[in-house]
C-alpha cells in the first residue's frame, strides 16, 4: 500500500509541471489573434518574385565615398537574410549559436557590394512573397537616400529636393510603400505574439536592433556634412556600432530614428516614420515566426495582417497628429515636438541621446500638429488627401494622388526613370553612367 501511495505521489509531482506547461501552452494558443481583413487588395497576396529598381541619379552608389559605412550596410543585408532563412528552414534551434556566429563572420568580413537578399533567403521569399517585396522596396529607398547624402555632386539644397523626389518615387511607383505617418508603437508592440523573438533569441535580436541603430544614426552623420566630416564621424560611430551596439541585449525597445538623427527627422518626419514603421514590421514578423504556439497557417495569416497594418494604403487620407479612434491602429499622434516619432509604448524610456535644442523629444504625446513648423522645406502632411498619405511636398516631391495597384505603376519616363536591368551592385541595380564617379 505504501508503495502504491508513493507511486501516486511521484506521478502527481511529475505530472504537475507537465500539466502546467500544457495549460500554459493551451492558454497561449487561445490568445485572441486578430483576423486578417477580408478586403485586402490583391497585391497583398502576391508571391511572385519581383525586383523593383531604383531611381536613376548621378548620386547612385555615392555611399561608397564613405566605404566603411557602405560595407557595414552590405553586411546588415546578409545578416537579416541569414537569420530569416534559418528561421523558416528548421534551423531556429541554432539561431543563437551557429547562425549568430555565421552572421558575426559577415559583420567582420563585409561584402564589397550590396547583396540581393532574395538570393540569400529564397525560402523566406517564396513563403512570404509580398513581405519580402515590402522589405526590398524600403531597403532601396534607404540606400538611395544615403547615396544622396554622401554625394559630392549635389549641393545641400539639391540633396534636400532630391530626397523629396525619392520619397515621391517610393510612395507612388508600386503599392508596397510603408506609411510615413507616425504609428502608435505601443499598439504595434502589444499584439498577442509581441516580444517573443527578443525573449527567445536575445543575441540575434540584439544584432537586429544594432543594425537599426546604425541605419538611424547614419542620417545625421551624413546630413549637411562634407565628405571629410562624414568619414571622420563614421570612424567613431563605426567603432561604437561594432564594439557596443551590435551586442546590446538590454534595450527595452528598438532604437527610434528621431532619437538617433533628430536633425534629419525634423526636416523629413515622414521618412523618419517610414523607417521606424519598417523596423517595427521587422520586429512583428520576428515575433510571429518565433511564436511556437501558433500554427503555420496562423503565422502566415498574422504576417499578412502585420504587413497590412503598416502599409501606406491602409492609412490613406489620414493626418499626423490625429487619433482616428479604434484599437490604436490609426492613432497617428506623435511624441511632443517630434512629428517624426510615433507614440512610444508605456513605460519605455528613450535612448538618452542629446538632441540639443532642435530635436529633443519630450515624453508626452502630441494631440495635434505641434512641432510641424517646417516651412516649405519640411513638407509635413497638413491636410487629408485622396492619394498616398497626403504628403504635400511642393513641386519637388508631391506624390501622385492615386495608389499603384501593381507593377503597372512603373512609369519609367523622364519623371521616374528607374533602371530596367539587374547588375552586381546595390540591390542588383545597373550602375552605368548614372552613378557617382569618384
CA 195 – CA 290 distance, rounded (Å) = 9
All three cell numbers of 266: 525634423
pLDDT in tens, the chain (438 residues): 555 555 544 544 544 554 455 444 444 544 789 999 999 999 998 877 777 789 999 999 999 999 999 999 999 999 999 999 999 999 999 999 999 999 999 999 999 988 888 788 889 988 888 998 999 999 999 999 999 999 999 999 999 999 999 999 999 999 999 999 999 999 999 999 999 999 999 999 999 999 999 999 999 999 999 999 999 999 999 999 999 999 999 999 999 999 999 999 999 999 999 999 999 999 999 999 999 999 999 999 999 999 999 999 999 999 999 999 889 999 999 998 899 999 999 888 655 443 333 333 333 333 333 333 333 333 333 333 333 333 333 333 333 333 344 333 333 333 333 333 333 334 334 333 445 544
Read out DSSP for 73-96? HHHHHHHHHHHHHHHHTT-GGGII
The total of other beta-carbon atoms located within 10 Å of residue 216's CB is 25
Handedness of CA 143, 145, 150, 154 (dihedral sign): positive
Indicate yes or no: pTM above 0.85: no
8 A C-beta contact, residue 403 and residue 175: yes
CA 61 – CA 422 distance, rounded (Å) = 14
129-150 and 202-222 helices cross at what angle (nearest 10)?
A: 40
- Measured distance between the N- and C-terminal CA atoms of the chain, rounded to whole angstroms: 89
The total of other beta-carbon atoms located within 10 Å of residue 146's CB is 23
CA 119 – CA 47 distance, rounded (Å) = 15
Q: ∠ CA(87), CA(126), CA(406), 5° rounding?
A: 130
In three-state secondary structure terms, 422 is: strand
Amino acid at each position: 500500500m505504501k508503495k502504491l501511495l508513493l507511486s501516486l505521489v511521484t506521478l502527481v509531482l511529475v505530472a504537475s509541471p507537465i500539466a502546467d506547461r500544457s495549460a500554459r501552452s493551451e492558454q497561449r494558443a487561445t490568445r485572441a489573434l486578430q483576423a486578417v481583413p477580408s478586403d485586402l487588395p490583391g497585391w497583398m497576396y502576391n508571391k511572385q518574385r519581383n525586383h523593383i529598381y531604383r531611381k536613376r541619379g548621378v548620386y547612385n552608389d555615392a555611399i561608397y565615398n564613405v566605404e566603411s559605412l557602405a560595407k557595414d550596410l552590405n553586411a546588415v543585408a546578409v545578416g537579416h537574410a541569414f537569420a530569416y532563412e534559418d528561421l523558416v528552414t528548421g534551423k531556429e534551434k541554432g539561431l543563437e549559436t551557429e547562425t549568430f556566429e555565421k552572421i558575426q563572420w559577415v559583420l567582420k568580413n563585409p561584402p564589397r557590394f550590396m547583396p540581393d537578399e532574395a538570393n540569400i533567403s529564397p525560402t523566406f521569399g517564396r513563403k512570404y512573397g509580398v513581405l519580402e517585396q515590402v522589405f526590398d522596396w524600403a531597403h532601396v529607398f534607404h540606400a538611395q537616400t544615403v547615396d544622396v547624402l554622401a554625394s559630392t555632386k549635389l549641393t545641400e539644397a539639391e540633396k534636400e529636393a532630391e530626397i523629396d523626389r525619392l520619397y515621391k518615387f517610393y510612395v507612388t511607383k508600386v503599392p508596397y510603400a510603408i506609411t510615413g505617418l507616425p504609428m502608435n508603437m505601443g499598439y504595434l508592440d502589444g499584439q498577442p505574439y509581441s516580444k517573443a523573438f527578443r525573449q527567445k533569441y536575445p543575441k540575434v535580436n540584439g544584432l537586429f536592433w544594432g543594425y537599426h541603430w546604425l541605419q538611424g544614426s547614419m542620417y545625421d552623420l551624413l546630413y549637411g556634412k562634407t565628405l571629410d566630416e562624414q568619414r571622420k564621424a563614421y570612424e567613431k560611430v563605426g567603432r561604437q556600432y561594432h564594439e557596443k551596439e551590435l551586442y546590446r541585449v538590454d534595450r527595452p525597445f528598438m532604437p527610434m530614428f528621431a532619437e538617433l538623427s533628430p536633425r534629419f527627422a525634423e526636416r523629413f518626419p515622414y521618412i523618419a516614420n517610414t523607417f521606424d514603421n519598417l523596423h517595427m514590421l521587422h520586429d512583428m514578423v520576428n515575433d510571429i515566426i518565433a511564436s511556437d504556439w501558433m500554427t503555420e497557417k496562423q503565422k502566415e495569416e498574422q504576417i499578412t495582417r502585420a504587413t497590412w497594418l503598416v502599409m501606406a494604403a491602409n492609412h490613406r487620407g489620414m493626418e499626423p497628429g490625429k487619433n482616428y479612434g479604434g484599437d490604436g491602429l490609426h492613432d497617428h499622434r506623435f511624441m511632443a515636438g517630434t512629428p517624426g516619432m510615433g507614440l512610444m509604448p508605456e513605460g519605455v524610456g528613450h535612448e538618452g541621446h542629446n538632441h540639443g535644442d532642435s530635436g529633443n523629444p519630450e515624453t508626452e504625446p502630441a494631440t495635434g500638429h505641434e512641432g510641424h513648423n517646417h516651412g516649405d522645406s519640411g513638407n509635413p502632411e497638413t491636410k487629408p488627401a485622396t492619394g498616398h498619405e497626403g504628403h504635400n511636398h511642393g513641386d519637388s516631391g508631391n506624390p501622385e494622388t492615386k495608389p499603384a495597384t501593381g507593377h503597372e505603376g512603373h512609369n519609367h519616363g523622364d519623371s521616374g526613370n528607374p533602371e530596367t536591368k539587374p547588375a552586381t551592385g546595390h540591390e542588383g541595380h545597373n550602375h552605368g553612367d548614372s552613378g557617382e564617379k569618384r
